[in-house]
Chains A and B, each alone.
Chain A
Amino acid sequence: MDTRQKLEILADAAKYDASCASSGSKQTRRGSQIGSTEGMGICHSYTPDGRCVSLLKILLTNYCIFDCTFCVNRVSSDTPRARFSVDEVVQLTLQFYKRNYIEGLFLSSGIIQNADYTMQQLTMVAKKLRSEHQYGGYIHLKTIPGCSDELIHEAGRWADRLSVNIELPTQNDLKQLAPEKDSTQIVTAMDTVKTRIDETKADKKQGFKAPSYAPAGQSTQLIVGATETPDATILQTVTSLYQDQRLRRVYYSAYSPIPHADARLPGMAPPLVREHRLYQADWLLRFYGFSADELFSPQQQNLPLDIDPKLAWTLANRDRFPVDINRADREMLLRIPGIGSRSVGRILQIRKHRSLSVADLKKLRVAWKRAAPFVITTDANPSLKLLDSLQLKQKTSTERQLSLFDAIDSARSGEV
């Protein structure tokens, strides 16, 4: 099989992975000849699914000894199989990178032989790129749960980011669909990475020249919609991942129809809107001071699909509005629908010099139609009377009927 055929198979197998960002590594490694990292990632292309191509996202191999129901690479799938050699991946990465096609490499793999062997192979690719080719571009390695700590330590030396995929939100879901995976193993791997990152940071603080360790942190991916588990449970899991494991990002991947899907799985993808709502909620958790509990009620364990989670929260907490743009504190400004965290920063800054009117807010590009019924400005705001209206929801929700293929790509920005 030639490289082209392998690439076809092993890129195809990687397309279900949502994580594609290449941001987070602020400094380029010293002595790099090819490749740099400068904090912000660059999307070098976009595919018709609206997703960006920033990394060479491939599997080392799609052979896998596991049999996770949702995965196209599971042992019982008859998908065509291929395996790259370490050198093939190294060369592909360098050649694509030099032509400025990509921002780096995101390497994952099916589990072959055992966790340690697989992890060794992945690490070898990164090590060769760094030490033999002075490659300074981005590298994200998928950590194989169950591999030894030494290998995770080694991998973090060469990679910018490590990820361990949690795949499903609860131990029970795993038992159902990925019986060979073990959530404690996954969490242990995350802990190992976290501890190492912390140690490196501490060393650097004390002035030691610690070799960099996964400077872009760690992330994970969750599959949504393959089981019945509600959004509330998903976001509880996610909250603890952000707090306890200090993950940089959690990616949500709406369950995609995959070839030869198990009969127990739904034949169609659940609406991508749900994935989109989870990204929005995730954003609220990380940047807007919301807690997962606030977004749900005992009766409502899933995020509403027709309006964004911030607006939903606002509608349920009307008594806390309207908010005076010129007086309210940051926390409350962040809770106004249609106003993003960057706008809040600007409002606070401008407020020091003069007070803001409706026209000013429009210049700041807030989503005025959504924000209008909830804010007091220096001038008259006729939309305020809507706040007590029963049609508030229709009037403020600007979204068209979202269809399956119509959600905005919110893996990059879930800002609401």
Chain B
Amino acid sequence: MQSRHVESFEDWRNQARQLIAAEISPREVCFRENSSQAELFGATNTPQEKLPAARPFRVDRKFMQLADRVVCHRDVDRYDLLYRILWRLTHGEPKLMQVTVDDDIYRASMMEKAVRRDAHKMKAFVRFCQVETESDREKYVAWHEPDHKVLRLIAPFFARRFRGMDWTILTPDESVSWDGKQFAWGPGVPMSQRPRADSLEELWKTYYASIFNPARLKTKAMKAEMPVRYWKTLPEAELIDDLIRKANTRTESMISHREGVAFTAERYLPEDLTVESFQAGLAQCDACSLCEHATQVIAGEGPVPSRLVLVGEQPGDQEDLVGRPFIGPAGQILNQALQDAGIRRDEVYLTNAVKHFKFEERGKQRLHKRPNVSEVTACHPWLQAEFLLTVPRVVVCLGSTAAQAVLGRGFKIQTSRGQFFSGPHDCEAIATYHPSAALRVRDVKRKEEIIRHLTEDLRRAAEKAKA
């Protein structure tokens, strides 16, 4: 039995080649690596039996690929294992590499897997800190503790990735620096000598905390992929405990937070709400883009307070020009319906969900265009303010835009028309057809039906408001 000292993968390869040539079986030899620093950097005078020159031979390329990684493993038997496989490959089992369930191959591939994983984790968890330098290239330093001796496997990756900057990676076993052209290898460095924190770490931690979704906590999965032993060099790791502890509260507040609005007319709302301050604020509103094209803004009109408030969709062409709500063709129909329901127009407050006219120009005509949700939302504070001023008992929503502005976006007029719901500030709210619906249908019968329903709903609303 002979014991052989190995310096490096290259060294092992040379010796193994010679041993195979000398027909020395795996049973007769055992490999030991020079582990102490002194031996590594000093001259090795270990007396070794001289070997005859090897004659060249070929083995499966897969073996070399495997061996290249397996030698990085810390297992002391790795060189022996590799030699045994090499022996078998050259002694009657040339296809051995493909029998992945063979005990030797299996063990080596497990080692290879551990090395590959560790190397991959090194690519991920090396964290550079920027350091001062005189050169005009930026300089970065990292300290990392891999499980196996993978720095040699990984250095070319970092050189490809960070070609344009100078960097150094320190590990307890060895270190390597890159200057844009070549590597410089050096001795290992203990954790105590790792670089100080980087100025960017705070920003990074901010990002880490913000991108985490507290509604889905899977700590085990995290620890499987980012083993705790690597945490010591990851700046964000110190946040983890706190993030986990607060996850539940954060989720609850995410769920319970009620719906609100983004950019709305709210900022123009006067603190002291009166009819005058309301109108002054409204005149300045540019919370949405409708104000850019409309002639003027149209506030509601009618008595304040008012038991009955009617909300339409938005001013039309004539309203926009004249400056009063419900004076166009739809207004005519509404007037008639009010009259038939026994309601005097000057007894009720009339307004719209959106206060500016939205239109599309078609030649000389300005065609009414339905406001979208964001415009309704933007304008909503004005409607709210009008409810505060008028303190209605009953609100009648004319058409679905108005109904959705008052009763919620899910409201469907087809199914819920004519029913009373609880409205803003404890009033009752009912939705019915917008008078313009009667203008749009050709069918005379249908038209009459719409007007009849409108009138009937108005009558019932008025009765409720009087009661």
- Inter-subunit contact B161/A35 (CB<8 Å): yes
- Taking the closest CB of chain A, its distance from the CB of B283, in whole angstroms, is 24
Q: Known interface pairs A42-B120, A272-B216. Does A263 touch B408 (Cβ–Cβ under 8 Å)?
A: yes
Q: In the complex, A51→B222 CA distance in Å? A: 7
Across the interface, which residues of A come within 8 angstroms of B127, CB to CB? Answer: 99-101
B106, B125, B257 interface centre (most CB from chain A within 10 Å): B257
- Contact across chains for A257 and B255 when beta carbons are under 8 A apart: yes
CA distance A414 to B464 in the complex (A): 60
Chain A residue with minimal CB distance to B106? A363
Min distance, Cβ A362 to any Cβ of chain B, angstroms: 9
Is the Cβ of B234 less than 8 Å from the Cβ of A45? yes
Query: Would A100 and B126 count as touching, CB distance under 8 A?
Result: yes
CB distance from A102 to the nearest CB of B (A): 9
B214 within 8 A of A: yes
Verify if B185 is at the interface (C-beta below 8 Å from A).
Answer: no
The segment out of A72-80, A116-124, A181-189, A387-395 that lies at the interface is: A72-80
**Cβ-based interface call for A134 (8 A):** yes
Residue of B whose beta carbon sits closest to that of A66: B374
Q: Does B215 make an interface contact (CB < 8 A)?
A: yes
Q: What residues of A have a CB within 8 angstroms of the CB of B140 in the complex?
A: 98-99
CA distance A38 to B215 in the complex (A): 33
Are A34 and B163 in touch, CB under 8 angstroms?
yes
A402: shortest Cβ distance to chain B, in Å?
A: 12
> Contact partner of B258 among A74, A260, A268, CB < 8 A?
A260
Distance A263 CA – B218 CA, assembled complex (angstroms): 28
A42 contacts across to B, CB distance below 8 A: 120, 123-124
A154: which B residues are within 8 A, CB to CB? none
For chain A, the count of residues having a C-beta within 8 Å of the partner chain is 82
Contact with A46, one of B157, B203, B226 (Cβ below 8 angstroms): B226
Residues of A within 8 A of B160 (CB): 28, 36, 38
On chain A, the residues within 8 Å of B258 by CB distance are 260
- A53 contacts B by Cβ under 8 Å: yes
Taking the closest CB of chain B, its distance from the CB of A26, in whole angstroms, is 13
Instruction: Mark the stretch among A2-10, A140-148, A202-210, A292-300 that contacts chain B.
Output: A2-10
B383 interface hit (Cβ, 8 Å): no
| Interchain CB contact under 8 A, B98 and A65 | no
CB nearest to A272 among chain B residues: B216
Quick check: B99 and A350 within 8 Å, CB to CB?
yes
A residues within 8 A CB of B106? 363
Q: Are A405 and B216 in contact (CB under 8 A)?
A: yes
Instruction: Report chain B residues within 8 Å CB of A8.
Output: 206, 209-210
CB distance from B102 to the nearest CB of A (A): 9
- Contact (Cβ within 8 A) A257 B251: yes
Which residues on the A side are within 8 Å of B218 (C-beta)? 48-51, 405-409
In the complex, A283 has a CB within 8 A of chain B: no
Which one of A12-20, A157-165, A227-235 is at the B interface? A12-20
- Give the chain B neighbours of A363 by CB distance below 8 A: 100-101, 106
- The answer to whether B95 and A353 have CB atoms under 8 Å apart is yes
Given contacts A28-B160, A76-B374, A262-B409, contact A48 B217 (CB under 8 A): yes
- How many residue pairs between the two chains, A and B, have CB atoms under 8 Å in the bound complex? 214
Instruction: Give chain A nearest CB distance to B272 CB in angstroms.
Output: 24
Assuming the A-B contacts A49-B214, A353-B99, are A78 and B163 also in contact, with contact meaning beta carbons closer than 8 angstroms in the complex? no
Please report which residues of chain B, range 196-226, place their CB below 8 angstroms from some CB of chain A when the two chains form the complex: 198, 200, 202-204, 206-222, 225-226
- Whether A48 lies near B254 (C-beta < 8 A) is no
Q: Which of A38, A45, A78 has the most CB of B within 10 A?
A: A45
Q: Are B207 and A7 in contact (CB under 8 A)?
A: yes
Question: CA–CA, A261 to B204, complex, Å?
Answer: 29
Which residues from chain B contact A28 at a C-beta distance below 8 Å?
160
A67 at the B interface (CB under 8 A): yes
Instruction: Report the separation of the CA atoms of residues A259 and B161 in the bound assembly, to the nearest whole angstrom.
Output: 39
List residues 335-374 of chain A with CB under 8 A from any CB of chain B. 346, 349-350, 352-354, 356, 359-360, 363-364
Task: Mark the stretch among B81-89, B239-247, B330-338, B431-439 that contacts chain A.
Answer: B239-247
CB distance from A345 to the nearest CB of B (A): 11
Whether A98 lies near B124 (C-beta < 8 A) is: no
Instruction: For A258, list chain B residues within 8 Å (CB).
Output: 254
Partner of B221 from the list A9, A50, A359 (CB cut-off 8 Å) is A50
Return chain B residues, CB-CB under 8 Å to A48. 212, 217-219, 222, 240, 243-244, 247
Residue in B123, B260, B410 whose CB lies within 8 Å of A77:
B260
**Which A202-224 residues have C-beta < 8 A from chain B?**
none
B279-299: contact bitstring with A at CB < 8 Å (1 yes, 0 no)? 000000000000000000000
Q: Would you call B262 an interface residue if the criterion is a C-beta within 8 Å of the partner chain's C-beta atoms? A: yes
CB-defined contacts of A49 to chain B, threshold 8 Å: 212-218, 222
Once bound together, how far apart are the Cα atoms of A7 and B217, in whole Å?
22
A43 interfacial contact with B, CB 8 Å? yes
Q: Judge whether A47 is part of the interface by a CB distance below 8 angstroms.
A: yes
Residue on B with the closest CB to A45?
A: B236
Chain A residues whose CB sits within 8 angstroms of the CB of B234 once the complex forms: 45
Whether B130 lies near A99 (C-beta < 8 A) is yes
Q: Kindly list chain B residues whose C-beta atoms are within 8 Å of the C-beta of A9.
A: 210
Q: Cβ of B208 and Cβ of A53 under 8 Å apart?
A: yes
Cβ contacts under 8 Å, B263 to chain A: 75
Determine whether B72 belongs to the interface, using a CB cutoff of 8 Å to chain A. no
Known: A47-B208, A258-B254. A269 touches B215 (CB 8 A): yes
| B373–A76 touching, CB < 8 Å | yes
Q: Does A328 contact B (CB under 8 A)?
A: no
- Cβ-based interface call for A310 (8 A): no
**Complex contact A76–B261 (CB within 8 A):** yes
A residues near B214, Cβ cutoff 8 Å: 49
A53 touches B410 (CB 8 A): no
Interface string of A264-303 (1 = CB under 8 A from B): 1001110010000000000000000000000000000000
Residues of B within 8 A of A354 (CB): 99
Question: What chain B residues lie within 8 Å of A32 (beta carbons)?
Answer: 163
Q: Does B462 contact A (CB under 8 A)?
A: no
Q: Verify A100–B128 contact, CB threshold 8 A.
A: yes
Complex alpha-carbon distance, A76 and B287, angstroms: 12
Any A CB within 8 A of the CB of B365: no
In the complex the two chains form, is B138's CB within 8 Å of A98's CB?
yes
Say yes or no for A172: interface residue by CB 8 A criterion.
no
**Among B128, B222, B247, B374, contact of A98 (Cβ-Cβ < 8 Å):** B128
B142 at the interface (CB under 8 A from A): yes
A-chain residues with CB within 8 Å of residue B164 when the two chains form the complex: 33-34, 134
A359 to B217, CA, bound (A): 37
Give, as a whole number of angstroms, the nearest-CB distance from A41 to chain B: 10
- Whether, in the assembled complex, A96 has its beta carbon less than 8 Å from a beta carbon of chain B, the answer is yes
Which chain B residues (305-326) contact chain A, with CB distance < 8 Å? none
Among A47, A75, A264, the most chain B Cβ lie within 10 Å of the Cβ of A47
Asked if A262 contacts B259 (CB within 8 A), the reply is yes
B195 to chain A, nearest CB (A): 11
29 contacts between A and B (CB under 8 A): A4-B203, A8-B209, A15-B210, A33-B165, A44-B125, A46-B222, A47-B243, A48-B218, A48-B244, A49-B217, A53-B211, A67-B372, A75-B262, A76-B262, A76-B373, A79-B262, A98-B162, A99-B200, A101-B127, A101-B204, A180-B372, A257-B251, A257-B255, A263-B408, A269-B216, A360-B101, A363-B101, A363-B106, A408-B218
Interface residues in chain B, defined as those with a beta carbon under 8 Å from any beta carbon in chain A: 95, 98-101, 106, 120, 123-130, 138, 140, 142, 157, 160-165, 198, 200, 202-204, 206-222, 225-226, 234, 236, 240, 243-244, 247, 251, 254-255, 257-263, 372-374, 377, 408-410
Taking A263-B409, A267-B255 as known contacts, 8 extra A-B pairs with beta carbons closer than 8 A to each other, sorted by chain A number, are A33-B165, A44-B125, A98-B128, A98-B140, A257-B255, A258-B254, A350-B99, A408-B218
Closest 8 CB pairs of A and B: A33-B164, A78-B260, A50-B218, A50-B221, A11-B210, A75-B374, A47-B212, A76-B377
